[in-house]
Amino acid sequence: MGLLRNSICAMALSLFTASAGNATALLEPTLHVKPQGAEGGGGRVALTLDACGGKTDTRILSALVDNRIPATIFVTGIWLKHNAEAVEIMRAHPDLFELENHGGRHIPAVDTPRKIYGIRSAGSPDAVQAEVESGAAALASAGGSAPKWFRGATAEYSPSAIAMIRKLGFKVAGFSINGDGGSLLGAKETTRRIAAAKDGDVIIAHINQPTHAAGEGVVQGLLALKQKGMTFVRLDDAEGVGNDGTTD
């Protein structure tokens, strides 16, 4: 019985290992904007902020307006429904804010069933397409320009999902600096990460967690970059270049 049990355990382990090995590896694409170069002074960076759901961090929104800092805001259909006042402020400053597609229901753009950071993926090509198109439809209903960029929940993708999103006409927005660790970092570490941005970097952070300490770090990090003479650009105004087939 001992030999049989060991044989069965070995077979199960082999099947599990083979299954894991065949699982499609997910991609977390990077994105950079064209550097300003030495002749441009402090350089330039693109600030991108995800509005996944919940409310609006007015600390960040007010700082962007007061300091004239442009940003690309990736909004979900869920967030748009519950943050009309913030949307109105953003629409009132078209020179500062560019609203882009973060999906209809904040579902990871992965076309196989799995969980990413505890969030269940779309799970099929049709579900990925529905997430992308419903996000675009929500933005269209809110008024303004049609979105050109898409960023999925968790910012991780299956390679085939990236190809589909590109066929739907969207560029996929990666990043080069994770500013706030999903809005879970403290203010000090968030400040340090954002303030360390270099010419051509694309920063990701969140604008939908007003009770998190990370929001204060986002503000302080941006002000530090501005003090250094860094120029901020929106993705729509920059030549963003990503890997993994996300922009070409």
For a pLDDT cut of 90, what percent of the chain falls above it? 85
Q: What is the pLDDT of residue 40?
A: 56
Q: Is position 10 within any domain?
A: no
d(CA 15, CA 99): 46
Residue 214 belongs to domain spanning:
28-242
Does 20 have pLDDT greater than 50?
A: no
Tell me the average pLDDT of the chain: 91
Number of Cβ within a 10 Å radius of residue 133:
15
How many folded domains does the chain comprise? 1
Q: Is position 22 within any domain?
A: no
Q: Is position 2 within any domain?
A: no
71 and 95 Cβ atoms separated by less than 8 Å: no
Kindly report the CATH number assigned to the domain that includes residue 68: 3.20.20.370
Q: What is the pLDDT of residues 138-168, one digit of tens each?
A: 999 998 789 999 999 999 999 999 999 999 9
Q: What is the pLDDT of residue 19?
A: 38
Q: Helical H runs in 23-158?
A: 58-66, 77-82, 84-91, 125-141
Read off the tokens for 165. 């999103």
Q: Is position 8 within any domain?
A: no
Q: Is position 23 within any domain?
A: no
Q: Is position 197 within any domain?
A: yes
